[in-house]
């Protein structure tokens, strides 16, 4: 067999790790998908080593769900697939073999109490994302998984037949290098989002070196930047219960009848914005994200309906009542009950109506124009925020080159992929972590070469 290593003058320690009759599985990446793949493979009877370049496991889990960790969504497999942004068919087998209810049962049987919130989002009762990582870490230790922290993989090794045989790695603190041999490898290194957590594209480099196609990469579940000046005047304002519509080159791309939008110093954010970004990023940057603050050449707008429960006619009748009830007041005071205090002066200015004009002097044309503006407050979108704020990566290892049942590479035997490194992503609501659990399960079982049953994974001690 041949071992490909980096050229280096330092001594390389070779750990053959082949003395046992058990299969030795090497998992690269100690995030959600990697930890779950490691637990799965170990419970399926394999000997597992988990390699993580950070000083601790689950670093990205700690910041998910604003530190609370929305770990899944209590949906059936069909609903999970509907939440995936393209290529959902690839996940059919993974979701069928390990669904949201399996995830909930696994964590609850491992001692983590869960609760369901709006939109069927599932959180730990404690509201501490750290408890998710602690639960997974305990399961790893219980199953005898060897955990190597501060260990970065620098290369993946193949034998004469082109199949996986081991990895080159080094200690991030001491620089000591070694080679570890194994029977299979799960690459669960994440994407490019939140690079401070260690997601720096290592898996893409490994995969592309073996000839895998990496589809264009761009940040997703990300806030929008705007060049609309009045937006900055509203920094800190949250509008709740507004209609939301995203337009891309004059075509409606995404809508929410009742949404929440947060105004920031750079544009807008909030749950609706993040979800909409997952529909937008691939269209906005079809060749991949070119860098921070790269303004799009497309026409992208967000339209807010400030009174979604009212039709234009009903809103007009409401305006008539407001103006009649306050007919002696200035216009800006007559309509102040319709808006948050911070929005009122901006909106009156946008309407073009003199703020000091008496309410009883407002013409029917001005009133109707004002109502239409309330139903269609438009914000120009210039760009997406960068990788530092992206929840997930859009793009990755092409799913056409990966077996959907086992997550094994169709190019290199013995290499498996799990989680964000794959070209699959979903909207907000716990769906992306469910992708991590489902693909991690498939990769762990596939790497261990055991069909296995879900109940065995859930119920074994």
**Per-residue pLDDT tens over the stretch 81-134:** 999 997 899 999 999 999 999 999 999 999 999 999 999 999 999 999 999 999
Q: Which tens digits make up the pLDDT trace of 208-231?
A: 999 999 999 999 999 999 999 999
Q: Which of 385, 411, 441 is the last residue of a domain?
A: 385
Whether 94 and 243 map to the same domain: the answer is: no
Residue range 423-429: mean pLDDT, rounded: 95
Q: What is the pLDDT of residue 21?
A: 55
Whether 347 and 442 map to the same domain: the answer is: no
Whether 262 and 312 map to the same domain: the answer is: yes
Q: Which of 330, 353, 385 is the last residue of a domain?
A: 385
Residue 205 lies in a domain: yes
Residue 103 lies in a domain: yes
**Residues spanned by the domain of 114:** 12-218+390-459
Residue 45 lies in a domain: yes
Whether 410 and 367 map to the same domain: the answer is: no
Whether 322 and 341 map to the same domain: the answer is: yes
**Angstrom distance (rounded) from CA 216 to CA 211:** 15
Q: How many domains does the chain contain in total?
A: 2
Whether 187 and 62 map to the same domain: the answer is: yes
Residue 260 lies in a domain: yes
Residue 6 lies in a domain: no
Q: Which of 385, 403, 432 is the last residue of a domain?
A: 385
Q: What is the pLDDT of residue 313?
A: 96
Q: Which tens digits make up the pLDDT trace of 40-88?
A: 999 999 999 999 999 999 999 998 888 999 999 999 999 999 999 978 9
Is the model's pLDDT at 174 over the cut of 60? yes
Whether 133 and 273 map to the same domain: the answer is: no
Residue 7 lies in a domain: no
Phi and psi at 336, nearest 5°, equal -65, -25
Whether 184 and 48 map to the same domain: the answer is: yes
Q: What is the pLDDT of residue 225?
A: 95
């Amino acid at each position: 067999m041949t071992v490909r290593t980096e050229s280096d003058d330092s001594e390389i320690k070779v750990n053959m790790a082949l003395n046992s009759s058990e299969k030795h599985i090497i998992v690269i990446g100690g995030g959600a998908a990697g930890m779950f793949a490691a637990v799965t493979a170990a419970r399926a009877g394999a000997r597992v080593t988990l390699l993580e370049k950070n000083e601790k496991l689950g670093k990205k889990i700690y910041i998910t769900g604003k530190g609370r960790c929305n770990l899944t969504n209590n949906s059936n497999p069909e609903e999970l697939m509907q939440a995936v942004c393209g290529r959902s068919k690839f996940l059919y087998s993974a979701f069928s073999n390990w669904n949201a209810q399996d995830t909930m049962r696994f964590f609850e049987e491992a001692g983590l109490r869960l609760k369901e919130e709006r939109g069927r989002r599932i959180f730990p009762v404690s509201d501490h994302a750290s408890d998710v990582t602690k639960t997974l870490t305990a399961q790893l230790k219980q199953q005898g998984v060897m955990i190597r922290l501060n260990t970065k993989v620098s290369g993946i090794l193949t034998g004469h037949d082109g199949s996986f045989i081991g990895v080159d790695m080094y200690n991030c603190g001491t620089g000591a290098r070694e080679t570890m041999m194994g029977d299979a490898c799960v690459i669960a290194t994440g994407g490019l989002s939140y690079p401070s957590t260690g997601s720096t594209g290592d898996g893409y480099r490994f995969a592309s070196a073996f000839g895998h196609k990496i589809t264009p990469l761009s940040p997703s579940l990300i806030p929008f930047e705007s060049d609309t000046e009045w937006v900055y005047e509203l920094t800190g304002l949250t509008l709740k219960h507004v209609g939301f519509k995203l337009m891309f080159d004059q075509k409606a791309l995404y809508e929410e009848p009742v949404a929440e939008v947060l105004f920031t110093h750079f544009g807008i954010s909030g749950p609706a914005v993040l979800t909409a970004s997952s529909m937008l990023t691939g269209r906005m940057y079809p060749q991949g994200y070119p860098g921070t603050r790269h303004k799009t050449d497309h026409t992208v707008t967000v339209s807010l309906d400030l009174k979604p429960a009212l039709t234009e006619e009903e809103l007009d009748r409401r305006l008539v009542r407001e103006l009649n009830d306050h007919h002696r007041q200035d216009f800006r005071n007559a309509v102040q009950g319709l808006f948050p205090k911070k929005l009122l002066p901006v909106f009156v200015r946008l309407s073009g109506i003199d703020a000091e004009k008496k309410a009883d002097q407002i013409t029917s044309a001005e009133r109707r124009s004002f109502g239409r503006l309330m139903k269609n407050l438009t914000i120009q979108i210039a760009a997406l925020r960068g990788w530092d704020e992206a929840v997930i990566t859009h793009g990755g290892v092409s799913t056409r080159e990966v077996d959907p049942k086992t997550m094994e590479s169709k190019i290199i035997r013995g290499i498996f992929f799990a989680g964000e490194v794959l070209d699959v992503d979903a909207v907000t609501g716990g769906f992306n972590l469910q992708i991590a659990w489902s693909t991690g399960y498939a990769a762990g079982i596939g790497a261990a070469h055991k069909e296995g049953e879900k109940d065995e994974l859930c119920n074994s001690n």
